[in-house]
Structure formats: structure tokens, C-alpha cells
Amino acid sequence: MMPGRPVHATTILGVRHRGHVAMGGDGQVSMGNTIVKAEAKKVRKLHHDKVVVGFAGTAADAFTLFARFEAKLEEYRGNLPRAAVELAKDWRTDRVLRRLEALLAIADSDHSLIVSGTGEVIEPDDGLIGIGSGGPFALAAARALCGHSDLDAKAIVVEAMRIAAGICVFTNEHVTIEAL
């Protein structure tokens, strides 16, 4: 079960494997059952390229959250867990922010986190994050690939996202990947 309200129509996958981190997001933007954009960039680097963030939710919400999270990273000098907790607190209590329906997948060299608007900050035990409607499919594929292949983190993201795109109708194969 994903934290907070379910977020549909995207796939974000974060993989921490063998000392490396990669995060990928599909490019599909849908309105209802219609694809309106195929190559959106839902993953980006922040804080001097030391943090990678992916979003599942609406584009306007994502831009708002990216800006707020980047400000928290600056305020707490790159301390990812502290910045994530402070963002989650603001997100939960601020009248405007709490209306945002999104999830963030966040990773740096030491931590992988899921942050939601209900105040949750979750660090998965295995360093793998899957959010959005295709997240569970990509996550399952990544878990299998981590345990049964010699692929690196970025290659696992590529292959797992390809698998998710073959299952989830709200996920396509135009993938943006950022690695640390």
C-alpha cells in the first residue's frame, strides 16, 4: 500500500544497488483516458546535483513541491532526512499545500525516501522505491533484478521501467533517468 492517497498515471522508480543510486520516471502525462504528452520529465536533480527527486501527481503540484523541497534542502544544508521531515510537516499542516495530491521519491548517496502529504516519510528497507500507478510493477521487477542479475542500478531502472510500461496503461517507455 502506498502512503497517503493513491496517485495514478505515472511510474517513478528509485534503485539503490551496489553503492549506486538511480531514479527513473516515465514520460506519459494523461488526462483521464487520453495521453496528452509522451515525454515529460518527472525526475530531476536538486541541491548541487547531490539529490535526485521524482514525483507522482499533477505537474503544478510537482513544481510547487520541488521548489519547497529544494528550499528545505538549502535551509538544512543538504541534510536529506531533516529536509524531508520538514517538508512533510509543512505539507500536512499548510492549508494550500495539504490540497496537493502527489508523492515524492527522494534519494541521495545515503538515503532513499518516500514523502507524502499526509506527513509520512518512509525509508524502505531495501533502498527501492516505486510510486505512481506503475510503481508496484516497476518495484517488483527491480526487486527481482537486484537479486538475480549482474545489472547496475541504472540498468535495473531501465529494465524495470520497460517491464512496468508493458503492464501499466498509464506508463510509457519514454524514461528519464538520473543517477548519483
Which has the closest alpha carbon to 157: 50, 63, 21? 21
Work out the pLDDT band at 170, boundaries 50, 70, 90.
confident
Q: Is residue 101 part of a domain?
A: yes
pLDDT at 1: 36
Q: Is residue 47 part of a domain?
A: yes
Work out the pLDDT band at 120, boundaries 50, 70, 90.
confident
Tens digits of per-residue pLDDT, 73-112?
Answer: 999 999 999 999 999 888 888 777 767 777 899 999 999 9
Look over the chain and give the mean of its residue pLDDT values, rounded to a whole number. Answer: 89
Number of domains, the chain: 1
Structure-model confidence comparison of residues 37 and 43, the more confident one? 43
Q: Is residue 141 part of a domain?
A: yes
Q: Is the pLDDT of residue 39 over 80?
A: yes
Q: Which CATH number do you get for residue 96?
A: 3.60.20.10
pLDDT at 91: 82
Q: Is the pLDDT of residue 5 over 70?
A: no
In the predicted model, what is the mean pLDDT of residues 116-132?
Answer: 91
Between the CA of residue 95 and those of 63, 103, 114, 123, 165, what are the distances in Å?
Answer: 17, 17, 21, 26, 35
Q: Which amino acid type is present at position 158? A: V
Annotate 31-59 with DSSP letters as a single string.
Answer: ETTEEEES----EEEETTTTEEEEEEE-H
Counting Cβ atoms within 10 Å, is residue 162 exposed (0-12), middle (13-18) or buried (19+)?
A: middle
pLDDT at 84: 95
Lowest mean pLDDT among 32-36, 145-149, 152-156: 32-36
Q: Which positions are catalytic? A: 10
Q: Is the pLDDT of residue 160 over 60?
A: yes
Q: Is residue 7 part of a domain?
A: no
The whole domain housing 33 covers 12-171
Q: Is residue 177 part of a domain?
A: no
Q: Is residue 74 part of a domain?
A: yes
Other beta carbons less than 10 A from residue 8's beta carbon: 14
Q: Is residue 105 part of a domain?
A: yes
Q: Is residue 178 part of a domain?
A: no
